Chains A and B, each alone.
Chain A
Amino acid sequence: MANRGWDEFEIGAMLRTFDGKIDDIAGTNQEDRAYSKSSSFSASVADWRIEKPVFNKDFCIDCQFCWVYCPDMSIIARDKKMIGIDMDHCKGCAICVEVCPTNPKSLLMFPEQADEEVELAQWPTKEKKEK
């Protein structure tokens, strides 16, 4: 795509989101949609990340705050239940962690190389509010 010549694309600086015809796009999960190469969904930005969020479902109350606030639509939710993070598009901004209201938080940031199993095993406990 990056090396195409002036005669090798459609006119009008216009981009197609999907290859071919689509129907019932609202009823189709993202991973099942025929996104075109020019859709940003087809491009991974995983390497932009220095820290990554880890999701601990034990504390999650499915409030959807992280889903609402994520600027890259990288929180994967199904039937209003948070099920994980789209690690191809998450840039590690930590906004999901910031807005998570549970105690302890259900999302925490760790170095990119951290082992998820290990971090979940030593997840912080509930903080007591100081009076």
Chain B
Amino acid sequence: MAFDKMELKDIEVWDGNYAAAQAMRQCQIDVVAAYPITPSTPIVEGYGNFKANNYVEGEFVMVESEHAAMSGCIGAAAAGGRVATATSSQGFALMVETLYQASGMRLPIVLNVVNRALAAPLNVNGDHADMYLGRDSGWIQLDAYCPQDAYDLNFIAFKVSEDHDVRLPCMVHQDGFMTSHTAQGVHTLSDDVAYGFVGDFQPMNDMLDFEHPVTHGVQTEEDWHFEHKARQHNDLMTKVFPKIQAAFDDFEKLSGRKYNLVESYDMDDADVAVVCMGTSVETAREVASEMREKGVKAGVVGLRVIRPFPFFEIAEALKGAKAIATLDRSSPGGAPGMLFNEIAGCLFNTDDRALLSGFIYGLGGRDLTKKHLVEIFTQLQANVDAGKVTTSLQQFIGVRGPKLQFL
């Protein structure tokens, strides 16, 4: 069955959702099983529109829940097709059981996660609660900071996830509303160039190969489970980074746009640095350069790959920084915060042992303003000057009421 190609301008003004939907269209997916939820709805809505207008050849399966959406993706991936879907927040939470099935079965599925807060209280806006919920699920997690990234990282995701040495599902995260509903200029690839980059789907252990019948989704008890999980972790730790790096390199040659496992900005001589994810990375970059005009040697480190966690690359990026702030956009649930803990782990055995403090911000879409970031950088400089952390290790910013700080 023939399908139509779409003519795109070199720069289209797209929001993150539409950028992701366009990338999905260009990858020529075999099966999308989806159950739309705010703020990721326009991804599958846009994709469904492409399907209805003959820009997509594959199947679009409407299901009754996110659990069924991911289950459908798992079945289609095991059958041997290129598969993707999208979700957010409560839908992601309902998907969690099946996320572990997908990664354990080593099925290459691309999941666009438009990050949104988790209820209660119910909230449709962007924070990283759902992203954090997925971080032990055995998936690869890539993080977009803007609509351009959301477009580009979808191609990277298919390429890495489907590689026969990897065969692990991959999430592409973007911030709900701040990226998903914010229109910006997106440099496009033509349909042929984009598809050429991801290439034809190469099946592996597919159930539709009748000459080599396989059983997927087997049960293992105490005698085998550990070995399978160990194998999966080994492959996440050793095989994924080189493939992502290779995909980033190829993509740069193709598009001129360079991505890194860890994104560092102004870090060469930085005294103070913030580590964060999503749109905050870009806002922090802007504030860091403004701080430099005021004489504060500020830098920013952004996680491009959240899982597998680039442990040594982050330590390297932060080398030389004297005071570091981690910015966690998720309610820490009685702990210091994911980024604080993980960055502390990276730095603990280094010689620098920088002064580390953590911030909880932006829950339920609360604005992270440039003013907040100026305050954080100023505080970090004060820590450098004092030679110690002068505040509590965990502070809430942008929340009303008496100052909230712990540890």
Contacts and interface: CB of A to CB of B under 8 A. Distances in A.
Interface of A: 2, 4-7, 9-18, 21-23, 25
Which 5 pairs show the lowest CB-CB distances between chains A and B? A12-B106, A6-B227, A6-B230, A15-B215, A11-B106
Nearest to B165: A11
Contact of B227 (A5, A14, A22, A23): A5
A6 B234 contact: yes
29 contacts: A6-B226, A6-B227, A6-B228, A6-B230, A6-B234, A7-B231, A9-B227, A9-B231, A10-B205, A11-B167, A11-B231, A12-B216, A13-B217, A13-B218, A13-B228, A14-B105, A14-B106, A14-B205, A14-B215, A16-B212, A16-B213, A16-B215, A17-B215, A18-B212, A18-B213, A21-B212, A22-B213, A23-B211, A25-B213
A18 B104 CA distance: 22
B214 A17 contact: yes
A18 B215 CA distance: 11
Nearest to A12: B106
B100 to A, nearest CB: 12
A18 B227 CA distance: 22
A120 B85 CA distance: 63
A75 to B, nearest CB: 23
B19 to A, nearest CB: 31
A85 B228 CA distance: 36
Interface of B: 104-107, 167, 205, 211-218, 220, 223-224, 226-228, 230-232, 234-235
Contacts of B216: 12-14
Nearest to B226: A6
A111 B226 CA distance: 40
A6 B231 contact: yes
Nearest to B231: A6
Contacts of A25: 213
Contacts of B212: 16, 18, 21-22
B207 to A, nearest CB: 10
Given A6-B227, A7-B231, A22-B213, A15 B167 contact: no
Given A9-B231, A12-B104, 12 more contacts: A2-B223, A5-B227, A6-B231, A11-B106, A12-B105, A12-B107, A12-B167, A13-B104, A14-B218, A16-B215, A18-B212, A22-B212
A23 B235 CA distance: 33
B212 to A, nearest CB: 6
B228 A15 contact: no
B137 to A, nearest CB: 15
A17 B231 contact: no
Nearest to B225: A13
A16 B209 CA distance: 12
A13 B220 contact: yes
Nearest to B227: A6
A2 B230 CA distance: 16
Contact of B218 (A6, A7, A11, A15): A15
A14 B209 CA distance: 14
B218 to A, nearest CB: 5
Residue of A4, A15, A18, A23 with highest tally of chain B CB at under 10 A: A15
A20 B6 CA distance: 43
B243 to A, nearest CB: 14
Contact of B214 (A5, A7, A14, A21): A14
B254 to A, nearest CB: 29
Contacts of B218: 13-15
Contacts of B215: 14-17
A9 B226 CA distance: 13
Nearest to A19: B212
Nearest to A8: B227
A9 to B, nearest CB: 7
Nearest to B106: A12
B104 A7 contact: no
Given A5-B227, A11-B167, A11-B235, A17 B105 contact: no
B231 A22 contact: no
